[in-house]
């Protein structure tokens, strides 16, 4: 089954330290198997939610914050069958590469893209997209036979992002803060509303919640986005799986 599984939906150091929400990243079962931003506990959560890390084809790391890359090396070991075979691909933001040991780098195919680059992982075309944050980071756009899946990574709002987010079947936005909480380096729900109005994905998924977002109730914030934009919007949950093979109408019925 082609699907997206959320191995963790927490963001920011205090949520990660408390594990009030897990921090394992996102697992994609598409034409190949991919994990995005494997933070603390990614290996454990993958196993917990029925995924086999030894069957990974690629690891994607968007930037150098610990909650996005910490389990990269152990997942490389899984992907390479305990470092016994050179296999799999590590796609990693250039400034994050220094945090990965030479020992692990040598075991995989390395792709170090700039925003706007395109490349293939198996049969999937991938485009890297820019972010607007206080550290260098990249988002990812996957052109799957099941539709376009776009992951924002951590970013502030900028109208230049809208063309990258358009035509997404599923748009995953790292929405750390609730409505009314303004910060210039990350999205809050007010900025998410602006993106939803302009990008108009089939399904918008809020993810990567900070403590204030959890206290505000992510489901309530997702409803706020949907009510104001008409875009189907849900808040991700730890272990949540999205079946990409369902038709849009069936998927929306399943999510209600």
pLDDT per residue as tens digits for the range 197-240: 999 999 999 999 999 999 999 999 999 999 999 999 999 999 99
Averaged pLDDT, 172-186: 92
Domain count, the chain: 1
**pLDDT over 90 (residue 246):** no
φ and ψ at residue 150, rounded to 5 degrees? -120, 130
Q: What is the pTM of this model?
A: 0.95
**Structure confidence by residue, pLDDT tens digits, 31-62:** 999 999 999 999 999 999 999 999 999 999 99
Residue 11 to residue 17: CA distance in whole angstroms: 10
Q: What integer pLDDT is reported at residue 256 of this predicted model? A: 44
Provide the residue range defining the domain that includes 86.
3-255
**Token pair for residue 182?**
């303004």
Q: Which helix (H) or strand (E) holds 43?
A: helix 42-48
Q: What CATH number corresponds to the domain at position 241? A: 3.60.15.10
Q: Which helix (H) or strand (E) holds 60?
A: strand 58-61
Q: Is the dihedral of CA 220, 223, 228, 232 positive or negative?
A: positive
């Amino acid at each position: 089954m082609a699907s997206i599984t959320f191995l963790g939906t927490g963001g920011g150091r205090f949520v990660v330290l408390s594990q009030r929400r897990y921090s394992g990243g996102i697992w994609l079962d598409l034409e190949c198997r991919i994990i995005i931003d494997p933070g603390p506990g990614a290996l454990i959560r993958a196993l917990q939610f029925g995924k086999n890390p030894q069957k990974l084809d690629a690891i994607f790391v968007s930037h150098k914050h610990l909650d996005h890359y910490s389990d990269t090396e152990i997942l490389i070991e899984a992907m390479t069958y305990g470092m016994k075979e050179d296999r799999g691909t590590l796609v990693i933001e250039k400034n994050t590469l220094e945090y990965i040991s030479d020992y692990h780098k040598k075991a995989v195919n390395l792709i170090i893209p700039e925003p706007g680059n395109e490349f293939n992982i198996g049969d999937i075309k991938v485009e890297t997209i820019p972010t607007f944050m206080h550290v260098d980071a990249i988002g990812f756009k996957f052109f799957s036979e099941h539709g376009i899946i776009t992951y924002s990574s951590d970013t502030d709002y900028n109208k230049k992002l809208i063309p990258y987010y358009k035509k997404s079947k599923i748009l995953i936005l790292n929405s750390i803060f609730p409505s009314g909480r303004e910060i210039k380096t990350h999205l809050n729900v007010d900025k998410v509303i602006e993106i939803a109005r302009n990008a108009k994905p089939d399904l918008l998924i809020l993810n990567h919640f900070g403590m204030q977002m959890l206290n505000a109730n992510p489901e309530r914030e997702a409803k706020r986005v949907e009510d104001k934009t008409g875009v189907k919007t849900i808040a991700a949950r730890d272990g949540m799986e999205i079946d990409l093979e369902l038709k849009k109408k069936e998927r929306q019925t399943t999510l209600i």
